[in-house]
């Protein structure tokens, strides 16, 4: 099976060119001007952008919470991802206390088997136990070299600094990487209980009990522990300008440190917590939404290369689930959807106003997540031999985001009413057309479980750079 994409504008993380691209079976086999080949399918991509399929480094599908599972399972979540140009997702393995990370990983692999994107996992140690060093090594050998820890959520999955130290030390020894949700968990619990004790229990107090300072101090602590243990570190969903200061400082010193933000932190404002309760509940996410100054700092940090990736933290709930906490914000399941909208939001609100170049958009959307997490150049690249995961982007299509037309199963959307320009006209996944002019291919084969290489064989093996100014934030 072959597909010839003709006359498109090929965008990669390092540049742009007008060229044709040939897919043979599940790989990209040629890129060049006027390719003279006969293919089974020819797509005229005149006026369109041709980009690598997205890699979403931060996705929670079928996540159990006290308010029930998050709204998307691996089927609906991966369809929504593909509709928006994302072809690979990285979800999480979260053991219940007492369960080994290896057992949890095996169970999670079974749960994800019907995903239609390709998929892989970060593994979350939620406690320390005797065999943890051996189990971390085992997960890495199995092809899962990234580990996610939570400094928040102290009542469920959050760990203390001693455990974090041991996790980082062990992961580093085995060539892996730690990703961290950075918020001061104990301080948040104190403030939450304090507010509710005063009768202050509306969604706004979710935001007020998680100030930017708590994120920034946790970022600083995680950076220090990573430095002590020589562990490469990736900070997830950075939302606060104060956090960015610590990130820049550590990167300047040559520490291998990567950072992610999400469209919600680039585009939505903390004033949304002042809306009526059912509306404000939609925005109960952690970290919470911030100010215009924070947003501006995040956009600049992307431009300057201090934030390398934009993930979604896709974790949607239905309104009924959110309403569980209408009288007590502590009971609201944290999270919101967005897996489908990452590219259209980056294009509309990043590229079109000139905040991001098209290449930078590709970099944060696909190439850097692939590089940092050991998927490159199989994923995140339009190169000969790379997987044929391709988005053909119509830069003129207009749309309005709504729960009425999104592909997530959630009945609410935090971007409700957002106008977008550009959409995926075609999405090709492993050489098969997944989406063609708005129509999803219902015969699309299941996605593949992707096993990854340990960090020590990729760019971020811990090594302080002699000349910090040449530190390249993960570029290889
Ligand atoms: O509110 C959020 N972000 N929920 C998902 C879990 C997490 O913290 O990433
Ligand atoms: Zn988180
Ligand atoms: Zn998350």
- Whether the model clears a pTM of 0.85, i.e. scores above it, the answer is yes
Q: Which of 57, 90, 285, 325 to mutate to test the pocket of ligand 1 (most atoms within 8 A of CB)?
A: 285
Given pLDDT bands bounded at 50, 70 and 90, which one contains residue 472?
very low
Per residue in 238-266, pLDDT (tens digit) is 999 999 999 999 999 999 999 999 999 99
Residue 315 Cβ inside 6 Å of ligand 1? The answer reads yes
Give per-residue pLDDT as tens, 72-117: 999 999 999 999 999 999 999 999 999 999 999 999 999 999 999 9
Ligand 1 pocket test target in 151, 286, 410 with most atoms within 8 Å of CB: 286
Q: Is the pLDDT of residue 474 over 70?
A: no
pLDDT at residue 470 is higher than 90 = no
53-381+450-471 CATH fold: TIM Barrel (3.20.20)
Pocket of ligand 1 contains residue 181 by CB under 6 Å = yes
pLDDT for 330 beyond 60? yes
Can you tell me which atom of ligand 1 is nearest the CA of 315?
A: 5
Taking the CA of residue 58 as reference, the ligand 1 atom at the shortest distance is 9
Tell me the CA distances in angstroms from 344 to 45, 235, 401, 412, 421, one per residue in order: 18, 24, 10, 18, 7
* Upstream peptide bond of 164 is cis (omega within 30 degrees of 0): no
Give the SS3 label for residue 124.
coil
**Mind listing the pLDDT tens digit for each residue in 155-169?**
999 999 999 999 999
Angstrom distance (rounded) from CA 257 to CA 236: 11
Q: pLDDT confidence of 333, banded at 50, 70, 90?
A: very high
In Å, how far from its chain's centre is CA 366? 10
Closest listed ligand to the CA of 63: 1
User: pLDDT of 267-316, one tens digit each?
Assistant: 999 999 999 999 999 999 999 999 999 999 999 999 999 999 999 999 99
pLDDT at 454: 73
Residue 221 near residue 151, CB atoms below 8 Å: yes
Cα(158) to ligand 1 centroid in Å equals: 12
pLDDT at 464: 57
Residue 26: C-alpha distances to residues 29, 144, 430 (Å): 9, 23, 5
DSSP assignments along 364-387, one per residue: IIIIHHHHHTT-TTTSS---TTSB
Same fold, 2-51+393-440 and 53-381+450-471: no
Of the CA atoms within 13 Å of residue 28, those in its CB half-sphere come to: 28
Q: Which atom of ligand 1 is nearest to the CA of 60?
A: 5
The CA-to-CA distance between both ends of the chain, in Å, stands at 32
- Out of 92, 234, 238, 334, mutate this one to test ligand 1's pocket (max ligand atoms within 8 Å of CB): namely 334
**Cβ(286) – ligand 1 distance below 6 Å:** yes
The secondary structure of residue 347, as a DSSP letter, is I
User: Nearest-5° angle of CA 295, CA 90, CA 220?
Assistant: 45
> Which protein residue has the closest C-alpha to ligand 1 atom 5?
335
pLDDT of 399-457, one tens digit each? 999 999 999 999 999 999 999 999 999 999 999 999 999 899 999 999 999 999 875 54
Nearest ligand 1 atom, CA 286? 1
Write down the pLDDT at residue 453.
Answer: 86
Residue 331 alpha carbon to ligand 1 centre in Å: 14
Mean pLDDT in the chain? 95
Could you write out the DSSP letters of every residue in 155-224?
A: TTT---HHHHHHHHHHHHHTT-EEEEE-S-HHHHHHHHHHHHHTT--STHHHHHTS-HHHHHHHHHHHHH
pLDDT digits 0-9 by tens, 28-66:
999 999 999 999 999 999 999 999 999 999 999 999 999
Q: How many CB atoms lie within 10 A of CB 201?
A: 19
Q: Is the CB of 60 under 6 A from ligand 1?
A: yes
Q: Is the dihedral of CA 292, 311, 52, 343 positive or negative?
A: negative
Q: Which ligand 1 atom sits nearest the alpha carbon of residue 284?
A: 1
Both structure tokens of 32: 């060049």
Atom of ligand 1 nearest to the CA of 150: 8
C-alpha 94 – ligand 1 centre gap (Å) = 13
Between the alpha carbon of residue 209 and those of residues 188, 223, 375, 414, the distances in Å are: 6, 23, 37, 21
What's the CATH architecture for 2-51+393-440? Roll (2.30)
Reply yes or no on whether the pLDDT at 186 is more than 50.
yes
What's residue 429's pLDDT? Answer: 98
Confidence of residue 462 (pLDDT cuts 50, 70, 90): low
- Closest Cα to atom 8 of ligand 1: 286
- The HSE-up count of residue 393 (CA atoms within 13 Å, CB side) is 27
β-strand pairing of 49-52 with 432-436: unpaired
Nearest CA to ligand 1 atom 7: 286
C-alpha separations of 286 from 201, 313, 325 in Å: 16, 10, 15
Taking the domains of the chain in order of start, what are their residue ranges? 2-51+393-440, 53-381+450-471
Q: What is the pLDDT of residue 467?
A: 44
pLDDT in tens, 383-399: 999 999 999 999 999 99
CB of 444 closer than 6 angstroms to any ligand 1 atom: no
What number does the ligand 1 atom closest to the CA of 236 have?
Answer: 9
Distance (Å, whole) CA 205 – CA 191: 9
Question: 146: burial class by Cβ within 10 Å (0-12, 13-18, 19+)?
Answer: buried
Chain centroid offset of residue 84 CA: 14
Q: What is the pLDDT of residue 461?
A: 55
Whether 465 shows a pLDDT value over 60: the answer reads no
């Amino acid at each position: 099976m072959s597909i010839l994409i003709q006359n498109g504008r090929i965008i990669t993380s390092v540049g742009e060119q007008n060229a044709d691209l040939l897919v043979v079976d599940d790989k990209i086999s040629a890129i060049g001007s006027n390719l003279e080949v006969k293919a089974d399918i020819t797509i005229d991509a005149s006026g369109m952008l041709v980009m690598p399929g997205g890699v979403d480094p931060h996705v929670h599908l079928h996540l159990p919470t006290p308010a029930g599972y998050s709204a998307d399972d691996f089927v609906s979540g991966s369809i929504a991802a593909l509709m928006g140009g994302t072809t690979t997702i990285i979800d999480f393995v979260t053991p219940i206390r007492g369960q080994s990370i290896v057992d949890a990983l095996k169970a999670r692999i079974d749960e994800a088997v019907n995903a239609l994107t390709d998929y892989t996992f970060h593994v979350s140690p939620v406690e320390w136990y005797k065999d943890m060093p051996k189990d971390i090594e085992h997960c890495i050998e199995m092809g899962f070299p990234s580990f996610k820890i939570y400094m928040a959520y102290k009542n469920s999955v959050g760990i203390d600094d001693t455990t974090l130290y041991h996790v980082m030390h062990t992961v580093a020894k085995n060539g892996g990487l730690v990703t961290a949700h950075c918020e001061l968990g104990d301080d948040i619990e104190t403030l939450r209980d304090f507010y509710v004790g005063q009768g202050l229990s509306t969604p706004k107090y979710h935001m007020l009990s998680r100030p930017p300072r708590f994120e920034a101090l946790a970022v600083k602590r995680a950076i220090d522990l990573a430095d002590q243990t020589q562990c490469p570190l990736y900070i997830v969903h950075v939302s606060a300008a104060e956090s960015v200061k610590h990130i820049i400082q550590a990167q300047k010193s040559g520490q291998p440190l990567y950072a992610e933000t999400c469209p919600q932190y680039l585009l939505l404002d903390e004033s949304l917590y002042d809306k009526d309760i059912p509306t404000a509940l939609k925005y109960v996410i952690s970290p919470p939404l911030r100010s215009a100054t924070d947003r501006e700092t995040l956009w600049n940090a992307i431009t300057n290369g201090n934030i390398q990736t934009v993930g979604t933290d896709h974790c949607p709930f239905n309104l009924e689930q959110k309403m569980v906490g209408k009288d007590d914000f502590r009971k609201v399941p944290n999270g919101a959807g967005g897996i489908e909208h990452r590219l259209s939001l980056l294009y509309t609100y990043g590229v079109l106003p000139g905040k991001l170049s098209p290449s930078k958009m590709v970099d944060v959307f696909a190439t850097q997540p692939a590089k940092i997490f050991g998927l490159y150049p199989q994923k995140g690249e339009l190169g000969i031999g790379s997987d044929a995961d391709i988005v053909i982007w119509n830069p003129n299509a207009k749309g309005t985001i709504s729960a009425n037309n999104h592909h997530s199963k959630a009945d609410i959307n935090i971007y409700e009413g957002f106008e977008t320009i550009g959409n995926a006209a075609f999405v090709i996944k492993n050489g098969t057309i997944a989406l063609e002019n708005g129509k999803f291919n219902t015969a699309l084969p299941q996605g593949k479980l992707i096993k990854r290489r340990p960090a020590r064989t990729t760019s971020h093996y811990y090594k302080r750079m002699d000349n910090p100014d040449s530190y390249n934030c993960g570029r290889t």
